[in-house]
Structure 1
Amino acid sequence: GDDSPLKNFSSPEPIEGKASDVNFRHVRYKKIMEAQRKRDANQNYMYRIQPGPDPNRKDTTTWMTKNALRDEALKPSTSWVRTGSGKIGTAFVEIIGCNDLPNMDVNVNANDKTDAFIALVMEDNMVRSDVIHDTLSPRWMPWSTRAFAFNIIHPSSLLMLGVFDFDGGIAGIGGISDIMDDHDTIGRVVINCAKFESGTTYLLHYQLHDDPQEEDARGEIILRFRVEWNSESEAKKMSLIA
């Protein structure tokens, strides 16, 4: 009606081109990278921990040196995501980090680097880690979304991991089914759970390849992995069944 507070409002003329897209990208980048690195009293570089500090230790985990950050990533996970409906056993996967990833954002911003996250698929379940922005050797902290427990239906099921470069602008990642289409693939790894001893914890380093025919690795992923069968004899019997 005439009493509307917007009755005298007139919108500006639209601007041709992609200026707003570029500006949004710049705002996102500036927000993410604001004060991500600083020097301590000894002039050593310290890095802001992503996606945030340990809620119980904010004073000591908001900023860390590179060595402290890598040591922290190796500590046991404190938060787990459980998924799957199987009853034969459970596969426990912790994403520790990646090394020497390619820079997937080199054409976006001169100072921008890969924004990595991991998607994991096993049987009919799909989960993903937090995004670690702007680094080629990301580390996931024990309190972040990095640890997953898959309840397994069949012991010969494959665990598939994909390392992706986040490309969601400021909107974030949408439906989990959009990951393969909306984000740039860096590399993949496939793990056969039946190849591992039950109850044994493995620290695994896998070379990443986007194409099986690709000779040159696209960096590596570091995982901590353990599989536990509720009945080893039953698991062995089922593994012989196609």
Structure 2
Amino acid sequence: MLRDEAQALTNLLRGGADGGGMPAVSQPAPLRHALRLMRATEEDWTFQAELLATQLQLARATGYSRDNFAYGSTPLRSWLLLFEQLRPCLAPRTAFGQRVRYAVLGSSLGSLCVFGACIYGWQARGIELLPLLVKHATRIVHEARVTGVRFECADLLGCDLRELDVVMLASQCWDAALVGAVRAKLLTELAEGSLVVDYTDGLGRRDGASDDAQVQRRDFHLELTVEAPVSWDGSHRFYVWRVL
């Protein structure tokens, strides 16, 4: 997967530079540097041991199951395949040069935020509950000199998600109760037309729907699905939802 990612980065930078159908990358050198730092961190045994200890500690302290803190990665090629298909849906918001406001809930080491900021020039925000991951994500963007990205160590249920254009949920291992709470929060806070990218179809389920009248009046419409490889699945299905 790492070899494929390196080739995808080379193709992206070359294609964007010569008009080969790829987006013109906003921050090419920082993107390359950040990717190298992220993958090196993932392979570091000390990091892996600290991550396991932090996962166990937070599972005990927060009441979330340990599964919620499982670690996985989505390579550049897969993210790009997904978001290049999503970009036309953002045309009304970018037609007048508006900068897309993008957040990743469960941002881990920050790769998904870095991709948005470095490739498209989006204003990216990562929210992550594990302090260890936020520490390393912040270090990586600082060392790589990535601009337009910020990270918060927080429970996403307590964060203000208004004013966002695109939200990505790293929800593949979340407890059902958390998915339901996030669904209600997104319907309460996101504006009509906002897009939500999810690793599961959980937003399409109304099981245990909120009693809140505002939530009941709103819903998600499935815009498209995209299949792409991730670290735990050779062909994972992503879901892109529009807030109604």
Question: Structure 2-normalised TM-score?
Answer: 0.32
Give the strand-richer structure, 1 or 2.
Answer: 1
Structure of greater Rg: 1
Normalising by structure 1, we get a TM-score of: 0.33
Q: Would you tell me which structure has more helix in proportion to its own residues?
A: 2
